[in-house]
Structure formats: structure tokens, C-alpha cells
Structure 1
Amino acid sequence: MNIKSVLLSATVCAFLGACTMQKNTSDQSMNACNTSAAITKTLTDQKGTIVKDEKSGRYALRVVTPGTIDEVSMYLICNPDSSLTKEGNMATLSGNVRASKQMSNMGGLTYYDFEVTKGQ
């Protein structure tokens, strides 16, 4: 094995190791909610669609504001049970809403942390 092969192998291993470490870090906090933030509102029987948010990797209740085409609220579900992890299902949920640490990079999309107290 020549020096170029050794350096290439070391670089690839270092890169993959960093990716694995980053993934493990995000897996540990996947369902973490911003419990230090105050409850900003309470939702009662909010209808929406269960989705897995690509940016955060968390399940959410996606709610489109009626009368708009691009105003979307993503309520990131804190510690979802198995009934809230079926993408595409319609759900009616109630619970406490807090500001989320997840930031949007699109206008019209707002993230919240959502502690479900009742749902179907």
C-alpha cells in the first residue's frame, strides 16, 4: 500500500466517523422538546396530517392555515407513540405548544414543539 492509498483511506474513515458521530447525536435528541420554553398556546382538537419532518427527523402534525397556500405550522411531536408515527394519517390532537429550537429556512413555515395530551 502506498502513501496515497493510506491517506485516502484515513480521510474516508475520518469523514465517515464524523458522519456517524453527528447522526448519533441527532438520534439522541430526535424527540427532545424545548421544555425550558413557556407554553405559548394550547391546541384543542387540532386537525392535521402526520408527517416526518425531513429537516429535524421528527414526527409532526402538519397544519395548513385555511385560506392560504403556503402558511404551514409544523407541530413537532414530543415523544410520539406508535399511533403518531404513521405518515400521511389524518389526526385530531390536543396539547401544549412551546417555541421550538428548530428553525425554518422557508417563509410561511413555522415550527413548534408539541406535547400531546389527547389524540386520535
Structure 2
Amino acid sequence: MDEKRNDNAGMGIGSIIARVIVSAIVLAIVAFLTPGFTINGIWPLLIAAVVIAVIDYLIQKVTGFDASPFGRGVSGFVVSAAIIYLTGYIVRGFHVGIISAIIAALIIGVINAILPGRKVL
């Protein structure tokens, strides 16, 4: 029980906002580096970061599966690409093709491996 409380202790509103901002920055970098992946403005970028975080949270709560691109091997990579692709259908101004989502998941996985702390997206 104490372990669970310690896991959630750092998830205050400030921490959540910081994670969304960092995720938005990573998404912007990934969109810049990935052909066929465009984000039309700051609002679609921020909304997409929130949508991806919510979908990832729901998948993790329902299935217990961590959708990190390298967190669960090939299956985590595929789920991460699917989340990015699905976000393109949910968020207006966020456009990504299936190949672009796969490339984006790869780039995000590399960024997650480089940055310290919990995964970015």
C-alpha cells in the first residue's frame, strides 16, 4: 500500500502540467523529424499531448500494459504507434499516417531512452 502511495505522490497538478508540456515539446520535435506527421498549431499540439497521455493511462489502468515504445518490446512499440495513429483521428489539426506513426514511436522510444525519469509519452 505504501509503495502505491509513493508512486502517486509526485503526480500533483504541477507535475501533470509539466509532463504534458514536455510531451508536447517531444511531439513537436517528432513531427518536425517525421515525414507525413504534421501538427497545425499550438492547440492541436497541446490537445494531442493530453489525448495521448489519457489513452496511455486508460490502457495502463485497464490492461496493466505499459505502452512505452521500448517498455514492452515489440508489443509496446506497436501499441505506442497505434496510440499516435489513433490520436490523428481524435485531434483536429494533428495528422499522421501509419508509417509516420511507426517512425514517431521509434523516435519517441529513443527520446525516452535518453531522458532520465519516467517515460515522456
TM range (shorter): under 0.3
**What is the TM-score of this pair, normalised by structure 1?**
0.26
Higher strand share: 1
Higher helix share: 2
Structure number with larger C-alpha Rg: 1
